[in-house]
Amino acid sequence: MADYIYTMEIRLTPDQQKGVALVQDVALAAGMNVYLTGGAIRDIISGLVKSVMFGMTITAVGCHEGLATGAGPEQVGRSTTRAVVMSIFLVVVVDLIFTAIFFFVSGT
């Protein structure tokens, strides 16, 4: 990742390089150097994995409720409400599970 960032930085104009340096200096002063040095790869990977799982959860609930919908517009409204409530609940549960997994795997 750092090599990619370096490759992109050397293609910037001098004014753009000054802007990048300014942002890095401000971030370093604010104590965000972990993100600039690549120490947060674990956080990026866990965020990507969890977002894919959230998408799969919402899709599965939406498909299940959509296929179980009865006839008529009233049933469509009820199925939509049920799908939204169930999706929110399951996203919280999936987040809890994957946060626990990544917490215990990373050892911190």
- Residues 48-107 have pLDDT tens digits of 899 999 999 999 999 999 998 888 889 999 999 999 999 999 999 999 999 888 888 776
Q: Delimit the domains of the chain by residue range.
A: 2-36, 41-106
Helices and strands (DSSP H and E) totals, the chain = 5, 0
Q: What's the pLDDT at 1?
A: 47
- Residues 1-12 have pLDDT tens digits of 455 555 666 667
Distance of alpha carbon 92 from alpha carbon 104, whole angstroms: 18
Residues, the chain: 108
Q: What's the pLDDT at 7?
A: 60
The three-point CA angle 38-52-2 to 5° equals 15
- Residues 2-41 have pLDDT tens digits of 555 556 666 677 777 777 777 777 766 766 655 555 556 6
Q: Which amino acid is at 61?
A: V
